[in-house]
Chain A
Amino acid sequence: MTRHRGRGIASINYPIGMNLGGDPSQALVHSNPSGKFTVALSSIDLGQGMKSVTRQICAETLGVPVEDVYVDTADSDTGPHCMGSFASRGTHRVGNAVMAAAREARGVMMEAAAEELEVNAADLDTDGRGNIHVKGAPHRSISTKDVAIAAQFKQGKTISGRGIFLVPLSEVNPETGEMSPATCYAHACLVAEVDVDDETGEVAMVRMDSAYELGRALNPRLVEQQLVGGAWMGVSHALYETPEPYYPEPVHCPRDFVEYLMPGPGDVCPHDIAVLERPAPDGPFGAKGPGEMCANPVLPAVANAIFNAVGVRIDDLPITPEKVLRAIKAQGGARPQARR
């Protein structure tokens, strides 16, 4: 028995938002009398961090601390329409809608502050800590709380905003496929390193190194959570999972997590990630979306690493020990390729 080490790479891009567009999202932002803001959405937080990333976008746009913003989602009576949380569209589409709503609310807030401070609204700025001050004269300031009270109880203004973001629907040419599928694309390249056992056909992950370009990492910890978890979904897809192990024959289909094979804690390997930020012109603060694409480069990178290790190409997923072993036997033994 010999364990052969190999490295493989893959590079990919990924379209952000529903293909062809036509998928609007809306947001409403309003202040309570204490100058705390609520964002009302109908978007879904699946665990990816929708509430948190829209909260940061709203806070940044309003110029208030993130603690002063709360995102309420999803209630069809109070949240305006959103197409849904899929197609890597949350950060880009909903983020833009929240930005637009927050910008409108900020406009009213600054007007109200200007009236209180008896200056022109264009001369005011926020400090991001809950105060609005005259540019260049930080001592002439008013808290967002006092502005909110004045706006509602004295000036009769609603510090609120509405936002929508829509990429208009593109047509598709039936003959050529000419179309506008997406307005921006995320990118990635991943190197997978594996050990392949030529006696059992088993593949063990050794490490992954990757670079992901996402426009802007609005919250690097949420990005890390997506990229680490997504890469493992990719490994699992490449080496373990399927509800139909003998596809296309629908037999021996697993029914639970005992029968459905997935990697366990002992199968995890180090993953060293670099994030690049080339802002998308139409992204909220340039952001694209890491949601879906993080798993994609892993599958081919693992397959290519297996070739590099033992010289076999497995083009049918998942790459089970049985397939690896049969292919090694068919070529008369492992044929390690040039070490990379």
Chain B
Amino acid sequence: MLELRKDIFADERDDNLKEIGKGTQRQDMLGHVTGTSSYFNDHKLQGMLHLKVVRSTQAHARIRRIDTTEAERSAGVRRIIRGTDVPVNLNTLLSLINFGKDDEPSLAVDKVRYKGEPIVAIVADSEREAFEAIARVKVDYEPLPAVFDVEEALSPGAPVVNETYPKNTFTYHEVYDHQKLRFGDADAALATADHVLEQRYQMSPIEHAPTETNGAIAAPDTNGRYVVYTSTQALFFSVDTCAKILDVPSNTFHFIGGTVGGGFGGKVDTLTEPLAILGAMLTGRPVRYVFGREEEMQFGPPRGAERIYIKDGVMRDGRIVARKIRAYFDSGAYTRLSSYAAVKCAAHLPGPYTIPNVYGDVYCVFTNRTPATAMRGFGVTAMDFAIECQMDKLAHLVNMDPMEFRILNAYRDGDMKAHRREAKNTALIECVQVAAEKAKWPLREEYKRASSRKDGGGSRAVIPPTPTDPSRARPAAAGQQRTSYDRLPPTVTREPPREPPPPAPPPPSPRPAAPSHGATRFSSVFGTRRR
């Protein structure tokens, strides 16, 4: 059920429109519900061949030898494509916007970096014959130690996943192994906060699970051109990526798409088009390369996992005074788009709240797993999970209603955001108020009267002095309650129940000599800057 709250912000809108705001039926509705909309895979071309790839059985290995002699004799095989057949067999997607180094081959040559990495492509008369030939390809691997955990990948002596980035991290600004965000003095504010809460969050990978899997059909056209039917989410992105990999002018291609069976970010990587076109170039026949469901789930890129550490300082009255975050994006074996998401994540800190001291380090880390890519909420979804769970815990710590706690800390028009731009056109407070109303969640009068358009700016618009050097450890303020997260061994609940009010905070304790598991991890995270 959807209700339009036209009463809110009515003075900022002209609602006197004719077509805008109407629930007009979709232009493509009839086609979709009658099954007549045309998708890329609805093009069955005369003489069409089918392409499938030999995928690595190893997570990390040197390739000693690839033997295709038996596969070449297999029934129906028209062409076997190796890495050396790919004109430019090294690319990174965002090279189109001049971001990052080429780090990923279309077909692996001397090394595989994740289980499922394509090594050889086989073009055959049918998918079945392509699979039969694949079973006859022999790859001689020399297994290498693999790394799957983002923090292990950063530790000294970790296996090098991708030689383009020998420290297993993407390089930012040609200097740093992470993207920084610095606003105010988070360490100083943490030292004076009434409560400090340190927590660790782990986002799971997730599959885009589109109804239609990734795929493309490429066919030789007249005048030396190729027509390509594709499931891409980004038509020219794919055109330009193919032009680079195949080393031809982009107008060699006539790409046709636009009606796609779900994407959610999983159809930006241009995984099938280059090999389908190359197959068509090498055979002179139409070539279809479509992921099966298992390929889509296991070797199509997922949303990458993210590990996030948050350390917040909050005062007894509910004001958050500092937020310090360290986040790791698990990019898998290659960059794809995770490097971009890490910057977007840094920009998103500290969430939609006005916090005077914010510190963030965001890493894009390489591991020996299927490369991750964009997915709905890219760079933000996991951080929102971490921040909003953290907000709930902070509200409990200071014994505040979680809705009122958010309104108290919400950003408002005129506030300075941590990335040093003024907040405008904000509406978080109104969303909280309306959600509370809908859920019949009582808010006190002063919180019902709060507005995104009031009480912002002024001292909240100031960019605070921000230390550039690593700040020294400061003694904790008297009366500070430090709450670290530590699930093992299970101990008493650290967060007091909402009612009755929490007991007075314990007396100040010096930094423990042997800190808890969670605290150790955390201080090791923030203590040194790894390069």
Binding site for B on A (CB under 8 A): 7-15, 19-20, 22, 41-47, 49, 51-52, 55-57, 59-60, 63, 65-66, 70-71, 73-77, 79, 81-87, 128, 172, 174-182, 184-185, 187-191, 193, 209-213, 216-224, 227, 230, 233, 237, 241-244, 247-250, 253-257, 260, 262, 270-281, 285-286, 291-293, 295-297, 299-301, 303-304, 307, 311, 313, 315-318, 327, 330-331, 335, 337-338, 340
On whether the beta carbons of B425 and A8 are closer than 8 Å, the reply is no
CA of A51 to CA of B405 in the docked complex: distance in angstroms? 41
Identify which of A43, A224, A230 gathers the most chain B CB atoms within 10 Å of its CB.
Answer: A43
Knowing A76-B256, A178-B420, A292-B377, the reply to whether A218 touches B26 (Cβ < 8 A) is no
B220 at the interface (CB under 8 A from A): no
Query: Which segment of B68-76, B136-144, B233-241, B278-286 sits at the interface?
Result: B233-241
On whether the beta carbons of A243 and B347 are closer than 8 Å, the reply is no
Q: Mark B379-418, 1 if CB is under 8 A from A, else 0.
A: 1110011111101110000000011001000110000001
On whether the beta carbons of A278 and B12 are closer than 8 Å, the reply is yes
Q: Is the interface of B mostly helix, strand, loop or mixed?
A: loop
CA of A82 to CA of B239 in the docked complex: distance in angstroms? 11
For the complex of A and B, 6 pairs with smallest distance between CB atoms: A84-B234, A300-B388, A74-B258, A177-B181, A181-B347, A221-B23
The chain B residue with its CB closest to the CB of A301 is B388
Chain B residues within an 8 Å CB radius of A279:
9, 12-13, 425
19 contacts between A and B (CB under 8 A): A13-B351, A22-B97, A44-B233, A44-B260, A87-B378, A187-B431, A189-B436, A211-B5, A220-B4, A241-B204, A242-B206, A249-B148, A274-B4, A276-B8, A278-B452, A279-B425, A300-B384, A300-B389, A315-B201
Chain B residues within an 8 Å CB radius of A42:
235-236, 258
Beyond contacts A176-B466, A248-B305, A277-B13: 8 other A-B pairs, Cβ-Cβ < 8 A, are A13-B411, A47-B262, A60-B20, A174-B172, A212-B431, A237-B381, A255-B293, A337-B497
CB distance from A171 to the nearest CB of B (A): 10
B298 at the interface (CB under 8 A from A): yes
On whether the beta carbons of A85 and B263 are closer than 8 Å, the reply is yes
Knowing A277-B4, A296-B381, the reply to whether A330 touches B175 (Cβ < 8 A) is no
On whether the beta carbons of A59 and B420 are closer than 8 Å, the reply is no
Knowing A75-B255, A210-B435, the reply to whether A299 touches B384 (Cβ < 8 A) is yes
CB distance from A292 to the nearest CB of B (A): 5
The chain B residue with its CB closest to the CB of A224 is B2
Chain B residues within an 8 Å CB radius of A185:
352, 425-426
The chain A residue with its CB closest to the CB of B200 is A315
On whether the beta carbons of B402 and A9 are closer than 8 Å, the reply is yes
Complex partner residue of B438 from A191, A249, A335, CB under 8 angstroms? A191
B448 at the interface (CB under 8 A from A): no
CB distance from A52 to the nearest CB of B (A): 4
Knowing A82-B236, A184-B425, the reply to whether A189 touches B175 (Cβ < 8 A) is no
On whether the beta carbons of B4 and A299 are closer than 8 Å, the reply is no
Complex partner residue of B344 from A19, A83, A317, CB under 8 angstroms? A19
B27 at the interface (CB under 8 A from A): yes
Chain B residues within an 8 Å CB radius of A300:
384-385, 387-389, 391-392
On whether the beta carbons of B388 and A44 are closer than 8 Å, the reply is no
Query: Which segment of B79-87, B159-167, B485-493, B504-512 sits at the interface?
Result: B485-493
CB distance from A61 to the nearest CB of B (A): 9
Identify which of B260, B262, B374 gathers the most chain A CB atoms within 10 Å of its CB.
Answer: B260
On whether the beta carbons of B352 and A187 are closer than 8 Å, the reply is yes
B475 at the interface (CB under 8 A from A): no
On whether the beta carbons of B236 and A220 are closer than 8 Å, the reply is no
Knowing A175-B182, A296-B381, A303-B389, the reply to whether A66 touches B19 (Cβ < 8 A) is yes
CB distance from A132 to the nearest CB of B (A): 14
Chain A residues within an 8 Å CB radius of B347:
15, 19-20, 177, 179, 181-182
On whether the beta carbons of A10 and B388 are closer than 8 Å, the reply is yes
The chain B residue with its CB closest to the CB of A8 is B392
Binding site for A on B (CB under 8 A): 1-6, 8-9, 12-13, 17-28, 59, 97, 115, 148-150, 172-173, 175-176, 179-183, 199-207, 209, 232-237, 239, 253-265, 267-268, 293-294, 297-298, 302, 305, 330, 340, 343-344, 346-348, 351-352, 360, 367, 369, 374, 376-381, 384-389, 391-393, 402-403, 406, 410-411, 418-421, 424-428, 430-436, 438-439, 441, 452, 466, 468, 485, 487, 490, 493, 497-499
On whether the beta carbons of B389 and A49 are closer than 8 Å, the reply is no
Complex partner residue of A247 from B205, B410, B432, CB under 8 angstroms? B205
On whether the beta carbons of B367 and A248 are closer than 8 Å, the reply is yes
Chain A residues within an 8 Å CB radius of B431:
11, 187-189, 211-213, 276
On whether the beta carbons of B426 and A256 are closer than 8 Å, the reply is no
Knowing A11-B431, A217-B4, the reply to whether A49 touches B148 (Cβ < 8 A) is no
The chain A residue with its CB closest to the CB of B265 is A86
On whether the beta carbons of B19 and A277 are closer than 8 Å, the reply is no
Knowing A19-B379, A56-B22, A179-B419, the reply to whether A85 touches B233 (Cβ < 8 A) is yes
Chain B residues within an 8 Å CB radius of A10:
384, 388, 391-392
The chain B residue with its CB closest to the CB of A211 is B434
Chain A residues within an 8 Å CB radius of B21:
216-220
Chain B residues within an 8 Å CB radius of A52:
24-28
Chain A residues within an 8 Å CB radius of B205:
242-244, 247
The chain B residue with its CB closest to the CB of A76 is B255
On whether the beta carbons of A51 and B27 are closer than 8 Å, the reply is yes
Chain A residues within an 8 Å CB radius of B452:
278
Chain B residues within an 8 Å CB radius of A248:
148-150, 305, 330, 367
CA of A79 to CA of B254 in the docked complex: distance in angstroms? 11
Chain B residues within an 8 Å CB radius of A224:
2
Chain A residues within an 8 Å CB radius of B385:
296, 299-300, 303, 317
Complex partner residue of A210 from B302, B343, B348, B438, CB under 8 angstroms? B438
On whether the beta carbons of A338 and B498 are closer than 8 Å, the reply is yes
On whether the beta carbons of A45 and B419 are closer than 8 Å, the reply is no
Chain B residues within an 8 Å CB radius of A74:
235, 255-258
Complex partner residue of B297 from A43, A187, A255, A271, CB under 8 angstroms? A255
Identify which of B4, B19, B28, B233 gathers the most chain A CB atoms within 10 Å of its CB.
Answer: B19
Knowing A22-B97, A172-B343, A260-B209, the reply to whether A213 touches B430 (Cβ < 8 A) is yes
Chain A residues within an 8 Å CB radius of B427:
187, 213, 276, 278
On whether the beta carbons of B173 and A295 are closer than 8 Å, the reply is no
CB distance from B165 to the nearest CB of A (A): 17
On whether the beta carbons of B498 and A47 are closer than 8 Å, the reply is no
CA of A335 to CA of B92 in the docked complex: distance in angstroms? 50
Chain B residues within an 8 Å CB radius of A255:
293-294, 297-298
Complex partner residue of B435 from A66, A184, A189, A337, CB under 8 angstroms? A189
On whether the beta carbons of A260 and B297 are closer than 8 Å, the reply is yes
On whether the beta carbons of B59 and A250 are closer than 8 Å, the reply is yes
On whether the beta carbons of A216 and B179 are closer than 8 Å, the reply is no
CA of A285 to CA of B202 in the docked complex: distance in angstroms? 39
Complex partner residue of B439 from A191, A230, A295, CB under 8 angstroms? A191
CA of A179 to CA of B180 in the docked complex: distance in angstroms? 11
CA of A86 to CA of B377 in the docked complex: distance in angstroms? 10
Identify which of B199, B204, B424 gathers the most chain A CB atoms within 10 Å of its CB.
Answer: B204
Chain B residues within an 8 Å CB radius of A256:
293-294, 297
On whether the beta carbons of A174 and B180 are closer than 8 Å, the reply is yes
Knowing A243-B297, A338-B498, the reply to whether A209 touches B435 (Cβ < 8 A) is yes
The chain A residue with its CB closest to the CB of B4 is A275
On whether the beta carbons of A14 and B419 are closer than 8 Å, the reply is no
CA of A273 to CA of B149 in the docked complex: distance in angstroms? 39
On whether the beta carbons of B432 and A274 are closer than 8 Å, the reply is no
Chain A residues within an 8 Å CB radius of B260:
44-47
On whether the beta carbons of B428 and A220 are closer than 8 Å, the reply is no
Knowing A15-B348, A191-B435, A338-B497, the reply to whether A175 touches B468 (Cβ < 8 A) is yes
